[in-house]
Amino acid sequence: MSYTIPTMEPAAGKEVARLLQDRLNALTDLHLTLKHIHWNVVGPHFIAVHEMLDPQVDAIRLMADTLAERIATLGAEPKGTPGALVSARTWDDYSLNRAGALEHLAALNLVYDGVISDHRAAIDSTEEPDPVTQDILIGQSAQLEQYQWFVRAHLERSSGDLVSEGEAREADAARAVPADYEPAASKKSAPRKAAKKAAKKAARQ
């Protein structure tokens, strides 16, 4: 780097760009993973999850673009090729292919855990050298945390815990979802559905 933003030393700019490249890799990986899940969900919750994920894909692509342009603004080179991503990342590929929607969400919850935790670490690391970059990461973290809430809402029991609570591996989290599990919201709506069905039957008689 021969230059960076005003008032920042090139060495500091280089370090911030390095942190952002790691976050760019994570977000690029995340939006590809979300699209993979979008294509591979099956089961009774298919359409709800299939349609929930596309807005997340679009938003996270924009987040990645924002970080890439910030890296360039700092005077560094953003790297967006598949080879650079695979070479630099410290995590494995997402481990599920075709699977039930809730199984995918249990695994995706762990993916979000990792991305959000590392975003928060980058927030801490950028406070002193570059509060502008920190502000970008804070805004992205708020949105990522909201998306994880959307995911967790499908996995949450009425008691407040998650069906995949305590699992640290994607495959284990997916296996932790009971075959007959229904989200709390679905269970609450079941009596209303039964009542409507009974009313329609009575009306026909």
Q: What is the pLDDT of residues 134-147, one digit of tens each?
A: 999 999 999 999 99
Q: What is the pLDDT of residues 30-67, one digit of tens each?
A: 999 999 999 999 999 999 999 999 999 999 999 999 99
Reported pTM:
0.87
CB of 8 closer than 8 Å to CB of 48: no
Q: Is 153 within the bounds of a domain?
A: yes
Note the maximum CA span of the chain: 83
Structural domain containing residue 180: 10-204
Residue 187 confidence (pLDDT): 45
Q: How confident is the model at residue 11 (pLDDT cuts 50, 70, 90)?
A: very high
What number of H helices and E strands is found in the chain?
7, 2
Residue 2 confidence (pLDDT): 84
Q: Is 5 within the bounds of a domain?
A: no
Residue 200 has pLDDT above 60, yes or no: no
Place of tokens 């039964």: 194
Cβ neighbours for 87, distance < 8 A, ≥ 6 positions apart: none
Q: Is 82 within the bounds of a domain?
A: yes
Q: How confident is the model at residue 205 (pLDDT cuts 50, 70, 90)?
A: very low
Q: Is 36 within the bounds of a domain?
A: yes
Q: Is 44 within the bounds of a domain?
A: yes
Residue 23 has pLDDT above 80, yes or no: yes
Q: In whole numbers, what is the pLDDT of the chain averaged over residues?
A: 91
Q: What is the pLDDT of residues 99-133, one digit of tens each?
A: 999 999 999 999 999 999 999 999 999 999 999 99
CATH code for position 78: 1.20.1260.10
Distance between CA atoms of 78 and 76, rounded to whole angstroms? Answer: 7
Q: Which residues pair with 13 in a beta bridge?
A: none
Pick the residue with more confidence: 130 or 189? 130
Residue 184 confidence (pLDDT): 63
Phi, psi (rounded to 5 degrees) for 170: -55, -45
Distance of CA 12 to the CA centre of its chain: 29
Q: Is 96 within the bounds of a domain?
A: yes
Q: Is 4 within the bounds of a domain?
A: no
Residue 194 has pLDDT above 50, yes or no: no
Domain count, the chain: 1
